[in-house]
Structure 1
Amino acid sequence: MRKMTTTATTGPAPAAPAQIEWNLAEIYDSLDAWRTDKTRLEARVKDLARFKGRLGESAATLSEALDAISGTEKDLVRLYVFAFLEADEDRRVSEAQERRGEGTLLLAAFEEATSFVSPELLRVGSATIEGYLDREPRLARHAFNVRNILRKEPHTLSDEAEAVIAGTSAMRQGPERVFAMLTSSDMPFPTVTLSTGEEVRLDQAAYGKHRASRDRADRKRVFDAFWKAWKGYAATLGQTLDTHVKAHVFEARSRRYTSALDAALAGPNIPEAVYRTLVASANRHLPSLHRYFRLRQRMLGLDELRYYDIYPSLVASERSFPLDEAKSIAVAAAAPLGGEYVALLGEALAGDWMHVYPQEGKAPGAYMYGAVYDGHPYLLLNYNGEYDDVTTLVHEWGHAMHTVLAKQQNPYETASYATFTAEVASITNEILLQEHLLAQDLSSRERLFYLGTALEAIRATFFRQVMFAEFELGMHELAEQGEALSGEKLTDRYEKLVRRYHGSDEGVLEYDAAYAVEWAFIPHFYSNFYVFQYATSIAGAALFAERLLGGDGRARDDYLAVLRAGGSGYAYELLRDRGIDLATDAPYDALIGRMNRVMDEIEAILDRQAE
């Protein structure tokens, strides 16, 4: 492995590089081909109705029906992905947006056309269906998904009751839609004047940018103005969350689950012990988080740390990473995953899989879209050459390699994987990147930059997300006890939680109660026990990385086995069977052990500099 000495880049900014684009012709070679396929798929979707009411006829009929459904879905996804990616190249092109809309409508038609499958299988009953699965080899590719449907049999109601619950779907989505509309278009955002004289309208994007300002007075201005605006809507947003949570409780009770948490975790078949162990572990490790805050205060040179001081980077870096260098670093960082993985990654990076640089009209952010089964994944980046961009590239390629390996091992029906394992793959790659860079010949400042970035990732991805998960659980438990949620009550509970996580009562961080309306800003609370998976993922990734880098002879095979398994098993069980049991303390202890080692190294560097 070559030594890499990092240096700051100075001088005039380079000219914008030529755009590097994915090759969508590998999906459809022309728009005419896309339109022709769309017409065929419209007919195929309508034809699926012939199987309604017939799934219990015989094993052969069930096999024919499921083959037709999955085959149609596979081709329909291909149609949609092409339109989705093309539209994201330039969202100003109305024709491309219309094609994406057409694809969305056809997907909705497919979902409606196949909505009979689950209730019909449940009516036929597990005894009959299991007999079909045993007798018909052609059903093997469908067996996991069919059994996953049958698993819900104890929580399936009468046809009449199911129709009532289905009829409430639009109403149950109402709170999320109200939240989205209010906070994206109707809510008036404040304007602040920064120390530079610049006037900034503090919408959500501007808040995300300016809360990390290097100017402390500007950070305070941003926090004060932004949260004052949200406080004016706390009562309204409290009611939307109250309605949203009560809808979860209503459906959970109707379906005979023990709680809303039980119902939410039943879908991906995640044991409740995972959620509760996660929350307990985070609380047990709060002293390490408080140590980080004290270290942050020291590095920022502050007499006291306040809530608006947690976002600016600990050490600034002006280093630039050209794309080719970032690719080389990504390949080198993946070395612990073995020669086969590295070769596959290198070959993929050389292909036309990415749309790389920002351009006018392009979708923001970054993602990997790997849903085309008989094709490679596609990655959208907005690469600017900063370290965060390298991290994003490595993260998204972690998803891409997961997708490639899962497709190699699985038929279409079980190639897709759950969020619970998806983020483990991407974050493991991030940790390997961090460790690879820290193994190079670095100056103290460069080392502090990478170490500080690693620490902030743990704070934001683990502790902050667990804090949200604990708040979400508390909301549902209050509703299950018959209590109404209000903006005032939610603000009070959120303030107490933030103060505990941030050590405010121990003098670690001064917290202003005016900021406690932050709960109203968090969109994850409308996703029904989803956010906790970010925290489990970074913990699982930390344990995998520890094993990979620590000489565990089975670690590589275990890691790759999880990726290759795709969706052929339940995500929790796939990880557990390969040594990552997220219902135990081990992954969380590994993550915090890494956090403490990083802080040890930072403190050692700071102590040497102070001598």
Structure 2
Amino acid sequence: MIIKNRKLKQLAVACASAFALMAASTAAKAAEAPVKAVSEQYVWDLTDFYATQKDWEAEVERLRGEVDSLKQYQGKLGESAKTLLKALDAQSVYNKELMRVWTYASNIRNTNLGDAKGQEMVGRLQALWQAVSASTSFMDPELVALGEEKIEAFIKSEPGLAKHALSLRDTLRKGKHVLSPETEKAISLMGTALSASQNARDILANAEIEWPTITLSDGTKAHLTNAGYALHRAAPAREDRAAVFDAFWGRYKDFESTFGATLNGEVQANVATATARKYDNTLQYFLAGDNIPEEVYRTLVKVTNDRIGVLHRYFKLRARMLDIKDLGYHDIYPDLVKTDLTFPIDKTREYMLESIEIMGPEYRDKFAKASVDRWMHVYPQPGKRSGAYMSGAAYDVHPLILLNHQDDYNSASTYAHEWGHAMHKVLTNENQPFELSNFSIFTTEIAAIAKEIILQEHMLENAKSEEERLFYLGYALEQMRGTFFRQVMFSEFELAIHETVERGEALTGARMTEIYGEILKRYHGHEQGVMNITEREMIEWAYIPHFYYNFYVYQYATSIAGAAYFVDQLKTGGDEARENYLDFLKAGGNNYPVEILKDAGLDMTSPVPYNAVIDRMESVMDKIEAILDKKDG
């Protein structure tokens, strides 16, 4: 019923771009880009949230003064349906305003991470959020104690409870995993302590390790921090790429035991929490929040392994396009096809408008209006958060979009992705009450990646040359490799290390390297001679911060699979398919994610969506090979 502290991470991050873990190189370039004067059109206007920071300050103080206001209902939730409704409505009002002040503060902070004022604003809200969590920790245990029969009787007798019904039933569903009020309060106060492993890992990786500097073949001094690695791993000269990998992964290997200890700490805490809450396993615990069946995760991994030959075909095609006989892991990042095409922000918007004709006039007109309002912070500037996201927690206002636009196609694709999120939020908020507007990452990433694919299809259809077609096809191919296959590989590793601890086995850095190495070799066709995987890159697990987000990355893979399915439907199904898809966007969070998708005709527990994206990858490779054969012939 309450907004748990762990939700803060979701609200702060909002979402990643479709290239997910591959996008670090773009972020590194954005951070180093020169600052240019820009029109205020490309800087968001936060006065729609609060006219001044003083108004924000006043609202925060008001909320702080009301942090214990719901305690008046403690012990009384079962008195009557009207009492329960008053309590839940009061909670909704408070949470809605809390999310609004959070949205304002976090987005001010993210435009200049070094500014002490923004840091202080966010810090105040983090403390307030934890206080609210502790103050309302009585609610879930008390509702569970009322039991299903009484709750259902209340819902039937009081129409006002309809908008709360899903949340009430969800609390009952998780009832056997809800602990005593005292224990729930203690766990809510442990949020910061349980983040210690991740914090230690981040400090080690980003602040304390002395990263190497190497000289590339053109004389460039490459300082191989995490950002430096992302910038130089696609160096044109193959010997430079090998040198970058040798130096960078060698330094991670030096700290294998320490990184192993931090990730083991995270896994041990996860397993202990899942056990304390009486889940069968840790995977079930982390999927339970959105009521995602384990079958989704395990079917995703199974289908991917059953069709791993498609990924191996991709690597063979990559070797052909790069003219490399002995493909290595250091050859996975150079662009397959380069282009001198540019995508300024205004032109990007035009392309987006043209591409979404397939969505119908309602969607197109809403985007046309929203995209010229000041909802975006477009260009890089000193101290600005890297990457891109959509921030849509403020129900009564509008979404915000942070970009670091570079006038390249990756930036255009990111624009489509984040507007996919924003339009999902617009349609949800127009059609759902606040209580049913909090859609899942599981569904909204589908909405975002679908817009990327729709833009790709539009650009491909309007390409003016075979070289331009080859560029868009190559981009699409690499997106599927990075967003589907690579994320499933990470997901398989994440499941394996948790199951290792669940079996009572030791989980050291060396053991993680062994587990990751086996999976890495299988995915990249090491035994089949497709790509040579050496011990050097088997330490890559230590580089991936998402393993501390706990069964999060699989959603990148499910999302691109679902997006591929829906785009195919939009292209072939006519008006019915379009209305079906729009209904999916308007549903927001009015049901569990898997059920919302089933209503839209997509069963994520079946192999269908995963085969759809793999089939799409095969089709793209067919087109690329046809172009290459024609050129070679």
TM over 0.5: yes
2:236 alignment partner in structure 1: 214
2:109 to 79, 82, 87: 87
1:28 aligns with 2:47: no
Q: What amino acid is the match of 1:565? A: A
Shift of 1:290: 0.7
Q: What amino acid is the match of 2:151? A: I
1:177 aligns with 2:199: yes
2:268 alignment partner in structure 1: 246
Distance 2:504 2:362 in 1: 56
What is the 5 A alignment of 1:552-567?
Answer: 552-567=574-589
Shift of 1:346: 0.6
Q: Which consecutive aligned stretches of 4+ in structure 1 deviate over 6 angstroms post-superposition?
A: none
1:138 to 160, 167, 175: 160
1:318 to 340, 346, 355: 340
Q: What amino acid is the match of 1:57? A: E
What is the 5 A alignment of 1:88-127?
Answer: 88-127=110-149
2:299 to 271, 277, 281: 277
Query: Are 2:138 and 2:181, in contact at CA under 8 Å, matched by a contact in 1?
Result: no
1:495 alignment partner in structure 2: 517
What's the TM-score once normalised by structure 2's chain length? 0.91
Change (3 A) 1:14 1:119: closer
Q: What amino acid is the match of 2:132? A: F
1:199 aligns with 2:221: yes
What is the 5 A alignment of 1:587-602?
Answer: 587-602=609-624
Change (3 A) 1:165 1:71: closer
Percent identity over paired residues: 45
Which deviations, in whole Å up to 9, do the C-alpha atoms of 1:184-234 show, x marking residues without a partner?
A: 222221111122222222111111111122221111111111110111111
1:333 to 355, 365, 375: 355
1:436 aligns with 2:458: yes
Q: What amino acid is the match of 2:315? A: F
Q: CA RMSD in A?
A: 1.9
Distance 1:327 1:57 in 2: 54
Aligned-partner SS, 2:390: strand
Shift of 1:166: 5.5
Distance 1:264 1:90 in 2: 33
1:73 aligns with 2:124: no
Shift of 1:16: 5.8
2:533 alignment partner in structure 1: 511
Change (3 A) 1:188 1:329: same
Query: Are 2:390 and 2:400, in contact at CA under 8 Å, matched by a contact in 1?
Result: yes
Distance 2:101 2:163 in 1: 23
Query: Are 2:198 and 2:266, in contact at CA under 8 Å, matched by a contact in 1?
Result: yes
Shift of 1:584: 0.8
Change (3 A) 1:32 1:255: closer
Query: Are 2:341 and 2:408, in contact at CA under 8 Å, matched by a contact in 1?
Result: yes
Distance 1:407 1:27 in 2: 16
1:188 to 197, 210, 215: 210
Instruction: Please list every run of 5 or more consecutive structure 2 residues that lacks an aligned counterpart in the other structure.
Output: 1-33
Distance 1:97 1:166 in 2: 23
Distance 1:437 1:415 in 2: 33
Which deviations, in whole Å up to 9, do the C-alpha atoms of 1:84-105 show, x marking residues without a partner?
A: 2222233343333322332333
1:608 aligns with 2:630: yes
Query: Are 2:463 and 2:469, in contact at CA under 8 Å, matched by a contact in 1?
Result: no
Query: Are 1:69 and 1:114, in contact at CA under 8 Å, matched by a contact in 2?
Result: no
Query: Are 1:189 and 1:203, in contact at CA under 8 Å, matched by a contact in 2?
Result: yes
Query: Are 1:242 and 1:484, in contact at CA under 8 Å, matched by a contact in 2?
Result: no
Shift of 1:159: 4.9
Distance 1:149 1:390 in 2: 41
1:415 to 433, 437, 441: 437
Aligned-partner SS, 1:173: helix
Shift of 1:169: 4.9
Distance 1:217 1:453 in 2: 24
Query: Are 1:179 and 1:240, in contact at CA under 8 Å, matched by a contact in 2?
Result: yes
Deviates more, 1:230-239 or 1:292-301: 230-239
Distance 1:28 1:301 in 2: 57
Change (3 A) 1:89 1:482: closer
1:400 aligns with 2:422: yes
Shift of 1:337: 1.1
1:9 alignment partner in structure 2: none
Shift of 1:48: 2.5
Change (3 A) 1:32 1:479: closer
Distance 1:104 1:325 in 2: 39
Aligned-partner SS, 1:554: helix
